[in-house]
Amino acid sequence: MKLRSISRRVYRAILAVSVMTALAMVATVLLVNEDLEHTMLNAEFAQERDFILANHAGGDVFVWDTPGFAVVYLPSSETHPPALPRIFKGLPANYSAEVELGDETYLVTVEPASNGLLYIAKNITHFEKREALFGMALVFMALVIVAFSLLLAVLSSRRIVKPLRLLSERISSTPVGPSMPRMTVDYGDAELHSIAHTFNRFLEELESFVRREQSLLSLASHELRTPIAVMSGALDVIESRGQLSESDRATLARVRKSCDEMRDNVEILLKLARRDPDGHVPETIDVGAVAQRVLADLAVNHKLGDRVRLEMESVFLAKADSVMVGMLLRNLIQNAVQHTEHEVRLTVFKDAMEIEDRGPGLKADHQAILAGQKRLAADGAALSGLGLYIVTLMAERLGWRLDIARTGHNGTKMRLGPIHEQSCSPGASLMKY
């Protein structure tokens, strides 16, 4: 999504208002000036017409032709009218308009008067030239106003957005931790003051949540590790007595293996919950061998039989935590087995591993969780194994990606592998769970 700049939007709004105001002003002044000019000329015309009619009451032809003013009176009884001045030739009765003759402009009117026609033409070239000069000056002033508006828009947008940018920088520079510094509320604007105050309250609530989470993790760490240590110690005591039969020793070995596996799982879960960075360099592991061990463990409790088929197309070597990779594969394979009674196929490639089943496909709630839109199913139902969210956390901590290649009523195919080695297809960010 392309983000829009508030500064640019404010700049455009101020500039648009200024330009529209300037255009409206220019149009209004031009209309008023044009109307004023016509009113003055019509008033002068009326006076001159009245003067001519008052001083020429007879029925004779009257012609007065000068460079600036021309008048012709033709009585209706005149059978042989004289030659009219060029400005009046071809004009009908009841005519009134501006007529251009060469480089000069005349205001001409032809109207009935005292049983005849009265032709009047007045040279208004000087008015037109002054009007053109006035228009040019008005356009120049409009350009000056637009240029000033442009400068004003730039300065105003910067001044308006500067406090917002400062607030954003202060929020971005706030370090994340158990004790976060509060923002200063030294803003003169009420809105920015409210935002800063609300953000400080959010930090207080966040710190309180972090403290509660840390306390819960400390308690969980003790409460989970202690029973495991007690069980391991009890197994050591039973084994040291040497009173076990061969079958009992096999059972004891299975219990010890499960106890060790539980201890490793608890360590991984606590590491994920604390978001602690790994303190050691990841070892290079064979993902195919890890998958074989996971299948051997699942075969005991889930009676896999021949339902799960592992195909080794190549050796998949990766630098990662083998325990976490085992947990991730165990939950993915266990989920596939639990959601279908048909065959589940695991294919190991050079840089990825595919898990394909013929189950009912991916639910909409699970898609939303994997897309980061939800954290739990909409109906609150428990998820299989360690839960979808924890599986996504394990993949994230490993730096791996879970892509969906196909999902539907005919089953689901997933692809698992390191992000830097695996190409990402469009829209592939989902995992069946």
Q: Which residues pair with 318 in a beta bridge?
A: 285
CATH of the domain at 314: 3.30.565.10
Whether residue 94 contacts residue 119, with contact meaning beta carbons closer than 8 Å, is answered with no
Q: What is the pLDDT of residue 379?
A: 46
Q: Which tokens is 321 given?
A: 């935590």
Q: Fill in the amino acid letter for 70.
A: A
Q: What is the pLDDT of residue 349?
A: 92
Q: Are residues 139 and 215 in the same domain?
A: no
Whether residue 265 contacts residue 299, with contact meaning beta carbons closer than 8 Å, is answered with no
CA torsion through residues 100, 101, 105, 109, sign: negative
108: enclosing H helix or E strand: strand 104-112
| 178 found inside a domain | no
Instruction: Give the end of a domain, one of 274, 291, 313.
Output: 274
* CA–CA distance, 352 with 363 (Å, rounded to integer): 24
Q: Which tokens is 407 given?
A: 């999902």
| 165 found inside a domain | no
Q: Are residues 294 and 408 in the same domain?
A: yes
* CA–CA distance, 189 with 159 (Å, rounded to integer): 12
Q: Are residues 143 and 217 in the same domain?
A: no
Nearest to 330 by CA among 311, 307, 302, 368: 302
Instruction: Give the end of a domain, one of 274, 307, 330.
Output: 274
Q: What is the pLDDT of residue 56?
A: 67
CATH of the domain at 268: 1.10.287
Q: What is the pLDDT of residue 276?
A: 55
Q: Are residues 228 and 323 in the same domain?
A: no
Q: Which tokens is 267 given?
A: 């360590």
| 98 found inside a domain | yes
3-state secondary structure of 36: helix
Give, for all 433 residues of the chain, the pLDDT tens digit: 566 777 788 888 888 888 888 888 888 888 887 787 778 777 777 777 777 777 765 667 778 788 788 888 888 776 666 778 888 888 888 888 888 888 888 888 888 877 778 888 888 888 778 878 888 888 888 888 888 888 888 888 888 888 888 888 888 888 877 778 888 887 777 888 888 888 888 888 888 887 787 777 777 777 778 888 888 888 888 888 888 888 888 888 888 888 877 887 777 777 777 665 555 557 889 999 998 888 888 776 666 667 888 889 989 998 888 888 888 888 788 777 777 778 888 999 998 999 888 877 767 666 555 555 455 444 444 444 345 667 777 888 888 888 777 777 778 888 888 876 444 433 333 333 3
Q: What is the pLDDT of residue 208?
A: 84
* CA–CA distance, 228 with 226 (Å, rounded to integer): 5
Q: Which residues pair with 406 in a beta bridge?
A: 413
Q: Which tokens is 297 given?
A: 């463990």
| 179 found inside a domain | no
* CA–CA distance, 392 with 279 (Å, rounded to integer): 21
Instruction: Give the end of a domain, one of 244, 274, 304.
Output: 274
| 356 found inside a domain | yes
CA 429 to chain centre: 20
* CA–CA distance, 222 with 230 (Å, rounded to integer): 12
Q: Are residues 20 and 137 in the same domain?
A: yes
Q: Are residues 353 and 318 in the same domain?
A: yes
Q: Are residues 116 and 49 in the same domain?
A: yes
Q: Are residues 12 and 142 in the same domain?
A: yes
Domain limits at 41? 6-148
Q: Are residues 333 and 410 in the same domain?
A: yes
| 370 found inside a domain | yes
- How many structural domains comprise the chain? 3
Q: What is the pLDDT of residue 348?
A: 92
Q: Are residues 314 and 341 in the same domain?
A: yes
Q: What is the pLDDT of residue 355?
A: 87
| 163 found inside a domain | no
Other C-beta atoms lying within 10 Å of the C-beta of residue 363: 15
pTM of the model: 0.48
Q: Indicate the pairing of strand 62-65 with strand 104-112.
A: unpaired
Q: Which tokens is 173 given?
A: 């520079």
Whether residue 346 contacts residue 291, with contact meaning beta carbons closer than 8 Å, is answered with yes
Q: What is the pLDDT of residue 368?
A: 59
| 83 found inside a domain | yes
Whether residue 430 contacts residue 404, with contact meaning beta carbons closer than 8 Å, is answered with yes
Whether residue 37 contacts residue 135, with contact meaning beta carbons closer than 8 Å, is answered with no
Whether residue 217 contacts residue 273, with contact meaning beta carbons closer than 8 Å, is answered with yes
Q: Are residues 124 and 231 in the same domain?
A: no
CA torsion through residues 367, 369, 370, 372, sign: positive
Q: Are residues 222 and 336 in the same domain?
A: no
Q: What is the pLDDT of residue 387?
A: 57
Q: Which residues pair with 104 in a beta bridge?
A: 101
